[in-house]
Amino acid sequence: MKTIHNIICIVIILVIVFCARQPFFQEKGQNISGEISNWWQSFEPEVEDSFQKVKVFFQTKILARIMGEAEKRKEIVEGELQEKAEQMQEDIKESLWERTKNYFSEKLQEMFK
């Protein structure tokens, strides 16, 4: 059922796009876009007021919680990254030492053969 609904929506969008490209519908589309623009401008003050309310709510309630949690996790992540970096440095040192030791031992063995 959902698939059929999605297909119908896609077909409607394609028909609108196709018709918008036809010369006959261009004049009608310009008239409609002007009417929609005027209609939207009549609602703009109400929408702007609602948007400001949502913005203030988001900044005071949601953003404060998110930033607090982000600060907590930042410290945890930085600590884990520091530990990981130190571990990688130790692994590189050990690997380099093993390779160097193996290289010289092979050269010494070749010399005494």
pLDDT at 29: 65
The pTM of this model reads 0.37
Give the model confidence (pLDDT) of 18-42 as tens digits. Answer: 877 777 776 666 677 677 777 777 7
Give the model confidence (pLDDT) of 55-77 as tens digits. Answer: 898 888 888 888 888 888 888 88
CA 70 to the chain's CA centroid: 16
CA atoms of 49 and 47, how far apart (whole Å): 5
